[in-house]
Amino acid sequence: MKSVLALVFAITTLHAATSTDWPRFLGPTGAAIVAESKVPLKWSDSENIVWKAEMPGPGSSSPIVFGDKVFITCWTGYGDKEGANDMSKLTRHLLCLNRADGQVLWDAKVPSAVEEDPWRGFITEHGYATHTPVTDGERVYVFFGKSGALAFDMAGKQLWQTSCGTNSGQRRWGSAASPIIHGDLLIVNANDESQTIFGLDKQSGKVAWKAEGDFGMAYGTPNIIKRDGVDDLVIAVPQEIWGMNPENGKLRWYAAHGLTGNVSPSVIPGDGVAYIFGGFPATRSVAVKLGGKGDTTASAILWDSNSSSYVPTPILKDGHLYVINDQGFAICIDAKTGQDVYRERVIIGARGGGKPFYASPVLIGDKLVCVSRRDGAYIIAAQPKFELLGNNVFDLDKSQFHGTPAISGDQLILRSDKAVYCVGTK
């Protein structure tokens, strides 16, 4: 009996997340916060780079880290370079890198299962690998839009593939939300593909539940937020925020927030409160009290503000929300009142045009790392007084940086359309 218990303990320990793991989009809790790390906050092509790994193609997803492995997605075959005009050759890649030196351990290739949205318009802004993988230490899960959700073992063997719909939104922008894990379920926001949120059995890929509805352009990654000992699956969609039972997808409560158009940032968890950012053509932000039953709008809306973010998800620290937005401003908002504490321009006229930030900021201790698309990473003090501490640029990489960095121990993993970088001290 003792030997059996020892084996169970060893297996459990093997797959348990550690403080150096960053297993999903925006980190272990979806808050993009690391309390303590010795990541150097100054880097360049030749300074504080542990390794650099060239990618077979571009991508807008973020890296994740588990144990000694880094996982990242990209795509090739169509739209990734000049003359790549044959959609039938579109292929997604899930790559596993050695965390120690960046060597590619394996490259799982997934041909496009159906015809995709064509390479034009806003698709060219982010491409066909926008969803960040998630891992439980036993398997790695990806969502590839119309090609569905897939599971791989840690050696790169595909275990299952499940379609989550093959439709397109009216604007044909593609999709962006990343999958998350809750217990034995992989939860997928397939808004663009089927206007459905799926709960998939992570062992088999079979549909455990699905929540269908006409919820518009909701591009944010769902989050599990605990309140009063209860886990709520929380997602912001245009006009409303939903609190669902993650075990069966049933709606517990909802509140009308008034953000129209598309909602791209993920919901930010607070102490009994959720913060929502986004909207179009006007961006706004709203604080919503969690919980209740049915329509909670009358009592749930705590404040709303014109200060917001279009794509990046802000950071909550010590009663303040830190925003980096599509107009190039860094904004600090009092999380209790919704009032601006400061608003300072960081970028004036982004290189290459377009919105200057897609990646979300990450917080390391009391410093924010804000990766811009084309103008480097800005280091900003996470305090109610604006202080720009630095701007780190890879002069040899002129491609776009869309992914949110992952923090693993004293290293920062950062991706561009060309490469993955490990920032740290050798």
pLDDT of 405: 98
Q: What pLDDT is recorded for position 18?
A: 61
Query: Phi and psi at residue 58, in whole multiples of 5°?
Result: -80, 175
Say whether 12 sits in a helix, a strand or coil: helix
Cβ partners under 8 Å of residue 402, min gap 6:
59, 60, 126, 358, 359, 373, 417
Structure tokens, 79? 């739209």
Per-residue pLDDT at 7: 37
Whether the model clears a pTM of 0.75, i.e. scores above it, the answer is yes
User: In terms of C-beta distances under 8 Å and separation of at least 24 residues, what long-range contacts does 368-371 make, across chains too?
Assistant: 368/315, 368/322, 368/324, 369/41, 369/405, 369/412, 370/312, 370/324, 370/330, 370/346, 371/401, 371/403, 371/404, 371/405, 371/414
Cβ neighbours of residue 196 closer than 8 Å, sequence gap 6 or more: 164, 165, 190, 210, 211, 212, 213
Strand partners, 308: none
Q: Contact 70/118 with Cβ under 8 angstroms?
A: no
Residue 353: predicted pLDDT = 65
What CA–CA distance (Å, rounded) separates 415 from 231? 32
Beta strand pairing call for 33-34 and 362-364: parallel
Q: What is the pLDDT along the chain (426 residues), one digit of tens a residue?
A: 433 333 333 333 344 456 689 999 999 999 999 999 999 999 999 999 999 999 999 999 999 999 999 999 999 999 999 999 999 999 999 999 999 999 999 999 999 999 899 999 889 989 999 999 999 999 999 999 999 999 999 999 999 999 999 998 878 888 899 999 999 999 999 999 999 999 999 999 999 999 998 888 999 999 999 988 899 999 999 999 999 999 999 999 999 999 999 999 999 999 999 999 999 999 999 999 999 999 999 999 999 999 999 999 999 999 999 999 988 999 999 999 999 999 999 986 666 667 899 999 999 999 999 999 999 999 999 999 999 999 999 999 999 999 999 999 999 999 999 999 999 998
